[in-house]
Structure 1
Amino acid sequence: MATVTLKGNEIHTIGSLPAKGSPAPDFTLTKSDLSSASLGDYAGKKVVLNIFPSVDTGTCAQSVRQFNQEAAELENTAVLCISKDLPFAQARFCGAEGIDKVEMLSDFRDGSFGEAYGLTFADGPLQPLHSRCVVVIDESGRVVYSEQVAETVEEPNYKAALEALVDA
């Protein structure tokens, strides 16, 4: 169980993020067209998992914009933005914002992604949404970087994630 805060109030997640060097847990998430996507679909690519509670909040929306602008410029890299938002809401946001270099994926069906990565809120007002995290996976499927943002309303460390991506 990890401890983070939401506007200074302590909340917990159900587990801990996968350790650096460990194999990234597989997942099945839902695309905006309601088809499924799994980690295996991105085999041979570097993968950035930008995980957040809801695209309908300012900080979450900014993380999608930032990764759309920065990480999506890198070669052989997939940037996956993951929340429990319905795929329709994710698609609406991307259309309104002109977001076209990242892929939005939803864990709305069963929450298994949040469970596998240990990042689902276990308590607090955002339970059972995802905590704000970034996980970078190399071409061989190993975790090379992970960050669980300590204060939920703050943005992730984009620079550190991008540097890990370049070094992977």
Structure 2
Amino acid sequence: NEAGARLGDDVCMLTVSMDLPFTQKGWCAAAGVERLQTFSDAFDANFGAAYGVLIKDVRLLRRAVWVVDRKDKVTYSAYMPALGDEPDYAAVLAAAKAAL
């Protein structure tokens, strides 16, 4: 969140989870997260199914990262193999900088 915010106003950071909107809002407030737009897939899991990140057995979304440039072209993507895995944030930031 902080590193992405330093990239400037041309960068938009979004997150989609299975959490309900009020839970997402509470987490952002508690963590001091301000520049992250949150979206909930809790009601129908359409996003997770469409983007290949839905884990049906436990009804969770696998972590994934996409960087999209100004021409709406995906220039970077990474899907985490296990639930606890985190993306390579240095690679994500480098891809975001390159997409500006």
| Paired letter, 2:4 | A
Q: How does 1:1-168 map to 2 (within 5 A)?
A: 68-75=1-8, 76-123=10-57, 127-168=58-99
Distance 1:111 1:83 in 2: 9
Distance 1:89 1:105 in 2: 11
Deviation at 1:79, TM superposition (A): 0.4
Give the 3-state SS of the residue equivalent to 2:54 in structure 1: coil
- Calculate the aligned-residue CA RMSD, in Å: 1.3
Deviation at 1:74, TM superposition (A): 1.2
Distance 1:74 1:148 in 2: 23
Give the 3-state SS of the residue equivalent to 2:56 in structure 1: coil
Divergent runs of 4+, >3 A: none
Q: Which moved more, 1:101-110 or 1:158-167?
A: 101-110
Distance 2:43 2:85 in 1: 27
Of all paired residues, the percent bearing the same amino acid is: 38
Name the structure where helix makes up a greater proportion of residues.
Answer: 2
Give the 3-state SS of the residue equivalent to 1:152 in structure 2: coil
Contact 2:28 2:34 in 1 (8 A): yes
Task: Say which structure, 1 or 2, has more relative contact order (CA 8 Å, 6+ apart).
Answer: 1
| Paired letter, 1:115 | A
